[in-house]
Amino acid sequence: MKILVTGSAGFIGFHLTNRLLNEGYEVIGLDNLNNYYDVRLKLDRLRETGIEPSKVAYNEPVRSVKYPNYTFIQLSIENAANLERLFSEHDFSKVCHFAAQAGVRYSLKNPEAYLQSNIVGFFNILEACKHHEIKHLIYASSSSVYGMSKNVPFSEDEKVDQPISLYAATKKSNELMAYTYSHLYSLPTTGLRFFTVYGPWGRPDMAPMIFTNAIMKGEKIKVFNNGDMSRDFTFVGDIIEGVFRIVKTSPKKDYSIYNIGNNKPTNLMQFINILETVLDKKCDKEFFPLQDGDMKVTFADVSKLIKDFNYEPQTPLEDGLNSFVNWYRSYYK
């Protein structure tokens, strides 16, 4: 089975690519390698999968020296012609679409990037999947779609029509677009609402990395809403196990949505305390009001994931943060 993984140099896409390769799948990885955060981290992820960064050039496939079943191509999903050519050259069975412009706060500063990548790019993926009769499109949505909801834990069955950031609005749009293609063209699609993913090779713009950087440098950390926030922190290994179970299973119906979260929200101050313990270092804190676009609580109901795939995330936060910090110390020396 040949699988296309978009966003393969990103955090979750990188881990999924590794898992699929180790399970024996043939993988084509795609990423535009944009500079939303340090490109060196993305290139080092590629290097981990046997892709030599010096050989990477736009729209030129590069074979892995580590995995004979892996090829990477730098490509933007906004480019419909190049994407169509890629689908024509490869007989993909399934597509795991994790390429997107991420980040809630950045969507307040650069909204156009979200429209281009998350709307136009997603449309191009849907069109290519339709034309080439892809057996299953699995794509990244987000817990951000729950927006102003006060019904916790968040269930896939509740209405999500109050997004509080453009990022969330684009992810909800993806779900609506996928539904339309599933309905009109019988394209099986599965959207995955990820809840605050963390772990080794994580994104520098997310709390675990931001806080760890500050604590290690002896700097103050910024705590928003005076610490009165909770997040359903979910270890990346748990996320990948859930995604892999969905990939290797035939879709149960043409359109599905699943929460993948830890089902155990952690208060922000408790999270900081655990991180301080793992780092064996205390930090000073600055307290600020809630930022625009931020949700106070995220909390995943994963009963649907358990029912359909007999799986739920299980990694305790302490264990996950230990794994993250060990990687952090090794990578950043």
DSSP, residue by residue, 15-31: HHHHHHHHTT-EEEEEE
- Whether 167 is a known active-site residue: answer yes
Burial class of residue 16 in the structure, from the number of CB atoms within 10 Å of its CB (0-12 exposed, 13-18 middle, 19+ buried): buried
Q: Which one from 167, 181, 258, 328 is the annotated catalytic residue?
A: 167
Which residues, other chains included, contact 150 with Cβ-Cβ below 8 Å and sequence gap of 6+? none
Helix (H) or strand (E) holding 231: strand 230-231
CB count within 10 Å of CB 198 equals: 24
Two tokens, residue 168: 């969330």
Instruction: Quote the CA–CA distance of 130 and 134 in Å, as a whole number.
Output: 7
Q: Cα(207)–Cα(317) distance, rounded to whole angstroms? A: 14
DSSP string, 132-181: TT-SEEEEEEEGGGGTT---SSB-TTS-----SSHHHHHHHHHHHHHHHH
Q: Which residues are catalytic?
A: 167
